[in-house]
Amino acid sequence: MTDFVVYDVFTDSAFGGNPLAVIPDARGLEENSLQKVAREFNFSESTFVFPPADPAHDARVRIFTPTREIPFAGHPTVGTACALSDLGRVGADMVLELGVGPIPVSVANGRARFVTEVPLETWAGPSVEIAAAAAGLDADAIRIDRHAPVIAGVGIPFALAELTGMDALEAATGVTDAFRAFEPMWPVDGHFDLLIYVREGDAIRARMFAPLDGIPEDPATGGAAAALAAFLGRLDGRSARFDVRQGVEMGRPSRIEAKVTVENGRPVSVAVAGGAVKVMEGRLTL
């Protein structure tokens, strides 16, 4: 039998943030069972921890959504680091091997912080009309004076669209058929995932829809927050620290701290931090 733990991530309280299943020692599982286990948990992501390829690192972490393996995500990185720390498997500072390469993480007082230097990549986004349709909104709910919808990622891509205000954000709902219609035009590996947001200075309220990944709505998306921070850092031409609130409309409020460092107009690193709380533990009877 194989042990597992479940953490709520990007929150300091149980039943907030984003649930994550962590299998701290996945060596006993068959390769073809990993995706099935992730689907059985049916969280946004589940992680499977293996010995590192490089003995100088602390662990190799594989991340699965209900439908596929992905190379990087924020809440699995934070939650897995907190779980390994709670188990006494790592020190306060560690290096986790992810699909995008080694990621340094630090843990203290139930919170984890990771830094990624994966370069920001951008692609032409869906049109205003497609982004609005995917969010169940009229086209005039999409704000375009600062930027048009864009696809951006620091390891995993998201479509990013700024909205005109909180009324639009609260009214949004993911429309799966609209996601499917744009899927053939998605320019990179993976599925069409959409982060919509409202910005007031460095305070951001966000929602993320990924129905083609089996995630109708995500309560906390660290990878999307990292992509948004990097993109806004490049857009503004300055380093910044963003306070991202997500999951409010789902009744699972989350808080993601994202800091982008910009040099010569280019984002060179993004740090993402948040809390994690253990809410369950048990065993897989496989």
- Three-class SS of residue 22? strand
R_g over Cα of the chain: 18
Confidence of residue 190 (pLDDT cuts 50, 70, 90): confident
Is the model's pLDDT at 282 over the cut of 90? Answer: yes
| Of 113, 139, 66, 93, the residue nearest 241 (C-alpha) | 113
Q: Quick one: 50 and 178 in the same domain?
A: no
CB atoms near residue 164 (< 10 Å): 15
Q: Quick one: 59 and 149 in the same domain?
A: no
Confidence of residue 188 (pLDDT cuts 50, 70, 90): confident
Q: Quick one: 130 and 29 in the same domain?
A: no
Looking at residue 246, what is its pLDDT? 98
Query: What token pair was written down for 286?
Result: 């496989």
Looking at residue 276, what is its pLDDT? 98
Which of 45, 162, 217, 257 is catalytic? The answer is 45
| Of 174, 173, 172, 191, the residue nearest 182 (C-alpha) | 191
Q: Quick one: 173 and 96 in the same domain?
A: no
Assign residue 247 the CATH number of its domain. 3.10.310.10
Q: Quick one: 157 and 200 in the same domain?
A: yes
Q: From the centroid of its chain, how far is CA 233?
A: 18
Looking at residue 1, what is its pLDDT? 81
Residues 161, 142 contacting (CB under 8 angstroms) = yes
Q: Quick one: 109 and 127 in the same domain?
A: no
Q: Tell me 11's DSSP state.
A: -
Q: Which conformational region is residue 88 in: left (phi greater than 0), alpha (psi within -120 to 50 degrees), or beta? A: left
What's the pTM? Answer: 0.96
Cα torsion 165, 167, 171, 177 to 10°: value is -30
- Cα distance between residue 242 and residue 63, in whole Å: 25
Q: Quick one: 101 and 130 in the same domain?
A: no
Q: Quick one: 126 and 38 in the same domain?
A: no
Q: Quick one: 279 and 173 in the same domain?
A: no
Please name the amino acid found at residue 140.
D
Is the model's pLDDT at 286 over the cut of 90? Answer: no
| Of 182, 150, 146, 183, the residue nearest 164 (C-alpha) | 146
pLDDT > 70: percent of the chain: 100
Sequence-separated (6 or more) residues with CB below 8 Å from residue 46? 20, 21, 22, 23, 37, 38, 63, 64, 76
Residues 196, 128 contacting (CB under 8 angstroms) = no
> Cα 20–120–73 angle (5° rounding)?
5
**b/e string for 51-62 if b means 16 or more Cβ within 10 A?**
ebeeeebbbbbb
Q: From the centroid of its chain, how far is CA 94?
A: 20
**Annotated catalytic, 217?**
no
Distances in whole angstroms, Cα of residue 46 to Cα of each of 25, 69, 146, 248: 13, 10, 35, 22
* Structural domain of 75: 2-115+275-284
> Cα 198–202–206 angle (5° rounding)?
30
Average pLDDT for 168-197: 95
Would you tell me the crossing angle of helices 222-236 and 74-86 to the nearest 10 degrees?
120
> What kind and span of H or E run contains 85?
helix 74-86
- What does the pLDDT look like over 88-110, one tens digit per residue? 999 999 999 999 999 999 999 99
Q: Quick one: 238 and 158 in the same domain?
A: yes
Q: Quick one: 162 and 222 in the same domain?
A: yes
Q: Quick one: 155 and 246 in the same domain?
A: yes
Instruction: Specify the number of domains making up the chain.
Output: 2
